[in-house]
Amino acid sequence: MHLKADLHTHTIASGHAYSTITENVRAAALKGIELIAITDHGPSVPQGAHPWYFWNLKMVPSVLNGVRVLKGCEANVAADSDNGIDLPDLILEGLDFVAVGFHPTTGFDVPDRGRNTEFLLEVMANPLVDQITHPGNEDEFPLDLDAIVSAAVRYNVILELNDHSFDPHSSRVTSTGREREFAQAALAAGAAVSIGSDAHYALHVGRFDAALAVAEELGLAEDHIVNRSAEAVLAHLLGKRERPRLDAGGVWEWPSASEGGASW
């Protein structure tokens, strides 16, 4: 199975990631990835990007050297905001892709399944929200699986099977069983599923091996995975709502060395 889109990639704007948008796009192009979503951390995690960063993403190319670039976020569930997210709806509306997840230090560090589920259900009901990242993080942020999977079906929200969660060095590695259960329940319920790299370095863009092995075990076929191609991703997203700035950045080719540009 070769997935041609990656809906979860970070850049230096996340503070603890190490590549630029351009480097991530270049790595994607080299791997035959047709589309990536730039999903930097929202402002409530340490060194998370400022709201202005997300607002101004419209100036980044929409297509660079043939790779479709979705300007997105990995926002945080937030206890102290109007919409339960650490970016306001006004900013989310302008993004091409809105992912939301739980992360340390944002007000949910005491594991409380009931409270986490209540907040996340409110987030999922927001029509601007497209994807929940690593929902199976049982040890840090336990959730009521049935309630979240039902909400994913009801609101057409993608549940991510996160490749990085299976990395032995990941902070989420103790919860891989639960990540697997979420994917299995999503498949059984007919919820949309994606596989994301959660790349924090360019060469990790499009790295899905561990999650793909789990998908194969569970009988999750390519047809079930939203990020199987750029076309499938765009059809899913545009079926949910308009993306007003999708093409705002234009179609660009990096200048070649013969044109006086640095090599791509």
Contacting range for Zn ion; rule: CB under 5 A; set: 125-133, 166-174, 214-222, 244-252: 125-133
Instruction: Tell me how far, at minimum, the Cβ of 40 lies from Zn ion, in Å.
Output: 9
Number of residues that bind Zn ion (CB under 5 A): 4
- DSSP at 141: S
Is position 198 an interface residue for Zn ion (rule: CB under 5 A)?
yes
Smaller CB separation from Zn ion, 84 or 101 = 101
Instruction: Tell me how far, at minimum, the Cβ of 10 lies from Zn ion, in Å.
Output: 6
Query: With left for phi above 0 and alpha for psi between -120 and 50, is residue 241 left, alpha or beta?
Result: beta
Calculated CA dihedral for residues 82, 183, 73, 112, nearest 10 degrees:
40
98 forms beta bridges with: 73
Smaller CB separation from Zn ion, 63 or 134 = 134
Is position 101 an interface residue for Zn ion (rule: CB under 5 A)?
yes
Smaller CB separation from Zn ion, 101 or 135 = 101
Nearest to 140 by CA among 192, 179, 87, 167: 179
State the helix-helix crossing angle for 209-218 and 176-189, rounded to 10 degrees: 50
Is position 136 an interface residue for Zn ion (rule: CB under 5 A)?
no
Q: In angstroms, how far is CA 30 from the centroid of its own chain?
A: 21
Instruction: Tell me how far, at minimum, the Cβ of 262 lies from Zn ion, in Å.
Output: 29
Smaller CB separation from Zn ion, 65 or 171 = 171
Is position 72 an interface residue for Zn ion (rule: CB under 5 A)?
no
Nearest to 89 by CA among 250, 226, 248, 241: 241
Contacting range for Zn ion; rule: CB under 5 A; set: 42-50, 51-59, 98-106, 118-126: 98-106
- DSSP at 199: B
Residue numbers at the binding site for Zn ion (CB under 5 A): 74, 101, 133, 198
